[in-house]
Amino acid sequence: MRDLAERKAERAKLLAEDPTKELAVVEELVPVPTLIRFPPPPSVDDAKPALPPYSADDEGKAPANPIAQVSAGTRHNLAVSRSGHAYSWGTGENSQLGLGPDVATQLTPIRIANKALDSGFKVEFASSGGQHCILLAVKPA
């Protein structure tokens, strides 16, 4: 297995070639804590903002979209932001990602959007497992 320094050097080289490239590592165990970047929270003008390109200037800065909770499934993950939005990434051929039947693989975190969540609900908890994705959401009074 490659060590952390080798992976960081390879990542820096790939980013220099194409700063917008998705750099998810598929089928590789990363046994050390690793920073996962999330898209900015949705706004009135942009309901599903894209993940901005990586910048070395971002290192050490507070995230624009702080995450409150993460759930790791067998091959997919869920996260809940402090602002109450749910994000999903990984592999789920049976809609485990919560992104609809047409999305089997999502390499980077993307917000889970649907009519119920977009009608004012705030996600408080997420759980992912081998064949499921569960969100607990409340509608603030």
Q: Cβ contacts of residue 44 below 8 Å, gap of 6+? A: none
Q: Is the pTM of this model over 0.85?
A: no
Please give the distance of CA 140 from its chain centroid, rounded to a whole number: 24
Provide the residue-wise pLDDT of the chain in tens; the chain has 141 residues.
456 677 777 777 777 777 655 555 555 666 777 778 889 888 889 888 888 887 777 777 888 889 999 999 888 999 999 999 999 998 888 888 888 888 888 988 999 988 888 888 999 999 998 888 899 999 988
Q: What is the DSSP letter of 111?
A: E
